[in-house]
Amino acid sequence: MLGDFTYSKQSISSTGVRWKCSRQVSRKCNAYVVVDGHGRILKMNDKHMHEPFRFIRTSKKRLLAMLNGFTYFRHYALKSGVRWQCTKHYSQNCNSYLIVDTGGTILRLNENHTHAPSNYLCNKDVKFITTLGGRKLALFNGYTYFKHVKLATGVRWTCSSHSSKKCRGALILDEGGSVIRSNPLHTHEPSHYHCLRDGVYYKL
């Protein structure tokens, strides 16, 4: 694995070993890396034709595999690796799957999904700030949100331009500040804030 992308051994020469992207066939990806006997990169093409394969952990601590926006749960172990089944297998009769070896290389996959990709957000990008006026906001992807209402599942944070620009952008965060759900469709451009030395933010 290199930079969240996986490679499989392609050929060996006097200068080193050439590894091709593990999705060369399925995605017609021409990315590769040539490594010498000490593991040093001699030559590479890191322009992939697809998104990286990675593992994520949800706010409920569930481990999933993610590829091209679709998520998979660990189904069962095989001699060659582990089969990961699409998380919509039961709810939307989706039979897409991945077979991944112990090194994280995709050995086989079926990407014929019956649904659109999942919408997952990385909660590490959520930041809580205090403005010059003392207002506490949540900052996410350049947009700010105010604490609106408490729900059974968490707290709804509504875009701070909800009234002035009739924006319906919103986040639902759990008690730990992790994103559970969001509406990222704003009616305006992101806000620009500058952080002062004392940790207070002001809008530019």
In this prediction, residue 197 has a pLDDT band, given cuts at 50, 70 and 90, of very low
| Cβ within 8 Å of residue 145, ≥6 positions away | 137, 138, 139, 157, 158, 159, 160, 169, 170, 171
What whole-number distance in Å separates Cα of residue 140 and Cα of residue 160? 12
- Is the distance from CB of 98 to CB of 104 less than 8 angstroms? no
What's the pLDDT at 2? Answer: 60
Q: Is the pLDDT of residue 185 over 60?
A: yes
Specify the length of the chain in residues.
204
Distance in Å from the first CA to the final CA of the chain? 41
Residue 56 · residue 73 · CB < 8 Å: no
Res 86: pLDDT: 94
pLDDT range class, residue 64, cuts 50, 70, 90: confident
**Judging by beta carbons within 10 Å of its beta carbon (0-12, 13-18, 19+), is residue 124 exposed, middle or buried?**
exposed
* Stretch 5-18: mean pLDDT: 84
| Main-chain dihedrals φ then ψ at residue 36, nearest 5 degrees | -85, -175
Q: What is the pLDDT of residues 113-163, one digit of tens each?
A: 999 887 665 555 678 888 877 888 888 877 889 999 988 878 899 999 888
Residue 152: CB atoms within 10 A of its CB come to 4
pLDDT tens profile 37-56:
877 888 888 777 766 677 77
What are the CA-CA distances from residue 101 to residues 116, 135, 176 (Å)? 26, 49, 34
| Largest Cα–Cα separation, the chain | 67
Amino acid identity, position 126: V
The whole-angstrom separation of Cα 35 and Cα 38 is: 8
Contact 145, 160 (CB under 8 A): yes
Kindly report the backbone phi and psi dihedral angles of residue 125, in degrees, each rounded to the nearest multiple of 5, phi listed first. Answer: -85, -5
Average pLDDT of 3-15? 79
